[in-house]
Each structure stands twice: as structure tokens, then as C-alpha cells.
Structure 1
Amino acid sequence: MRILILPLILLLAACTAEVPRNARIIVAGDSVMAWNGSDQNVAAQLQRILDEPVGDVSLSLAQVDGGIGPLNIPEQIDGYAPEWVVLNGGANDLSRNCGCSDCAPVLDRLVSPDGTSGAIPDLVSSLRAKGSKVAWVDYYTAPRYAGTTCEAPYDMLETRLSRMAARDAGVTLMDLDRTFRSGDLSLFASDRMHPSAKGSALIAQTVAPVLTDD
């Protein structure tokens, strides 16, 4: 097993884009960030909007409190200290460790009810300690899950993340439900879960003003 793990880590590392040395913004996280490839994903769309280099270390299947190498979101951005880190995470932790109910233990590991502790606050605190500001991109409601019990854990996650962000002016929570509508299928890929290229562009358009706000 150990023989197989190292080549897998090296392969995954090769799949992540390099970060330009002069990039003041790095995008990290899971498939919501990485979807649509390196020419149309969120980082690429931000680069076009802002007309400046944007680093991208996001990767599908990545987790906050799990994963190996670049499949672990804290490890994706380890060693970097840009002005801004744009990131998300938690969906793969929830999907792999609980169903659409009884998710309290997983949520508690990600972020406590008051937003002060857990894997996500620990990650954000480490970035803030290095001087980076954080734009945490909260999830939208995907058509596949709209109107189902699967919405509840994500609503709870958003509530806890909002409490976390309220404690630090250097952390901004971007609520994609304010711009995404689950009934607008043009914003979603054919799986009715991930963003389409148009959806990735909308995420970038939502985040970009925060990154240029002095």
C-alpha cells in the first residue's frame, strides 16, 4: 500500500497548477473551484476579470479534514502566504462521512457551532497568521439536492461559517446562494451539481469585488 501511495501523491501534485511567483491571489479547495479545467475554472475566470496572475491549487475530491497531499485543502496552500486566499471546502468531508442526516459529528470536526474551533477555523487562523486575507466561498444549492434533506447540513455549515467570519474583518464569507439559483440549469454542469463554465464565471464575478476592495 505504501508503495502505491507515493506515486498517487506525485500524480495528484502534477495535476495541480503552478502558482505564479507574483500572484497575490491563490484559489484553493475542491471541485466547485476546480471544475471546467484550467482555462475556465474559478481561478482562470478571476484572472480574466482582474487581469492579473491568479494561482490555482484547487483539486476535485479534496477535503478539509482528510485527504492526502493536494487532496487535503490545508496542504494545498501550505507554504504560501499571498494577499488573498479564495477557498472552499467541507462538501467531500460531509459526503464521505455522513449521509444527509446525523451529520453533527462531521460538522463539529469541521467547525464548532460558535465558529471558533474545528478544521476550518484552524485553517483560516493559520492563513491569517501569515498575513493572508481569506475569502471563504460557501456552497450554492445544487439542483440535484434542492428541496431534499441534504440541504440541512449545508445550511448548518453556512451558519457556523458566518459566525467564524464575523469574528475577523480579514475573513469574508461569500454566500453563493445569493447569486446562484438552483432552477437556472445553465449555471450547472450536466451532473446538476458542479458549476458549468457560466457558473464558474459567476463565482469569479461574485468574489472579484472583494479582492479589489481597498
Structure 2
Amino acid sequence: MKHWIILLAIGLLVACGRGVPDEARVVVAGDSVMAWNRIEGASVADGLQARLGQPVGDVSLPLARVTGGRGPLNIPNQLSGVRADWVVLNGGANDLSGSCDCGNCGPVVDRLISEDGTRGAIPALVSDLRARGSRVIWADYYTSPRYAGTACVAPYDALEVRLGRMAQADAGVTLVDMDDVFSPEDLTLFAGDRTHPSAKGSALIAGQIARVFGR
């Protein structure tokens, strides 16, 4: 039953998704953190579109991974054929949750991005986007109330450090750290599962990203 509920939720999000309008200069991709609240018109892409005052494409989906995942549940596949001035994306959480427990995630993190930030699935995706002429904004994860204070934080801290090294090596890549504005103690920022963003949380993410655009 749970499997069918998840598939139904994904189907609804796809049906309510905006896709990529022809005139969109900005496209959002990634996993459920980006896609959450889309049905209510309050996703990260919705908030970003309101702040920028221009069309924003959105191809993000719950359960999407950087590695693995079929069709649009693979984040590189979401961006297949997409050419935009800016691509805003995240990813890695479902790779970690689906492939390791919180105490043995080193190999998964290594597959996503090497310690020096130059190799792995994430740098390969970013390099591909840069070769298409896109500037890239990578939205790093916040710490959610569900996992704050647990061993699960460590893999995400390692991921953030490596993402920072990747961004430092390319002026066309910006890392936006959501922990700068999210506190796991503020439950108003989170949905009832204490993991995904509430509508207020999605708006906060959009606002943090919009600062890169000077908005």
C-alpha cells in the first residue's frame, strides 16, 4: 500500500509540475526538497519565480537520485536536453538513504563526489551543465529535526565540504548552504514528517537562492 501511495504522490507532482517553459532562463531540478509543496503552488521553483519575476522551469521530483533511478527519478535525466542560463539543483539524499546506513556512507559519498571535489557523479553532472553554458547553483541540504543530533548528519557534512571545494574551483558554480537560514529547532520550517520543508521552508529556500541573483 505504501508503495502505491508514493507512486500516486509522484504522479500528482508530475501532473502539477510546470516543466520547462520555452522562455525560462532558470530551471530547478533535484529531489523532494525542491519538489515539495508544488501542488499548493509553494515549491522552491514557485517561490523563485515570484522573486525573480520571470518564468522558472521545474523538473524536480521526490525520490530522485544523482546515481541510479529511472527516467526523471535520475537527476541527470531530468536535465537531459535542458539548456538554461541558470540551473538550480540539489541531490544526494536519496543516494545516501537508499545505499547506506548513517554509519557507513563513505563509499556512497565518494561515488557522489571525491574528497577534492573534482570527480564523481555530482562533478560530472555539473561539468556537463557548465559545458552547455549554464551557471549552476547547488542548494546544499539543511539539517532537519528528524535527524539533528544523530550520526546521519556526518555524511551530509562531508558532502557539504566536498561541494564547497567543487564550487571554489569554478566561478560559474555557487554553493548555497541552507543551514545558514534553517534551524532544526524551528518546526514551522518543516512539514509534518520533520524532514521536508513546509511552505514557509520552501519560501526560505527560494529566498536564499534568489540572493545569488541579487533579489
Whether TM-score is above 0.5 comes out as yes
SS of the residue corresponding to residue 109 of structure 2 reads helix
Which blocks of at least 5 consecutive residues in structure 1 are unaligned? 1-7
Equivalent in the alignment of 2:37: 36
Question: Which among 82, 89, 92 is matched to residue 84 of structure 2?
Answer: 82
Relative to the length of structure 2, the TM-score reads 0.91
Question: CA offsets per residue over residues 186-213 of structure 1, 9 Å max, x none?
Answer: 0000100000000000000000121348
Question: CA offsets per residue over residues 127-182 of structure 1, 9 Å max, x none?
Answer: 00000000000000000000000000000000111011110000000000010001
The percent of aligned pairs where both chains have the same amino acid is 64
1:159-170 matches, cutoff 5 A: 159-170=161-172
Write the distance in 2 (CA, Å) between the matches of 1:113 and 1:203: 26
SS of the residue corresponding to residue 85 of structure 1 reads strand
Relative to the length of structure 1, the TM-score reads 0.92
Write the distance in 2 (CA, Å) between the matches of 1:73 and 1:212: 27
Write the distance in 2 (CA, Å) between the matches of 1:146 and 1:188: 13
Equivalent in the alignment of 1:137: 139
Equivalent in the alignment of 1:4: none
Write the distance in 2 (CA, Å) between the matches of 1:107 and 1:195: 23
Please tell me whether residue 23 in structure 1 is matched to residue 24 in structure 2: yes
CA shift for structure 1 position 12: 8.9
SS of the residue corresponding to residue 205 of structure 2 reads helix
Partner AA of 2:181 in structure 1: T
SS of the residue corresponding to residue 37 of structure 1 reads coil
Partner AA of 1:153 in structure 2: P
Aligned residues: 204
CA shift for structure 1 position 18: 2.0
Which blocks of at least 5 consecutive residues in structure 2 are unaligned? 1-7
Aligned-pair RMSD on alpha carbons?
A: 1.6
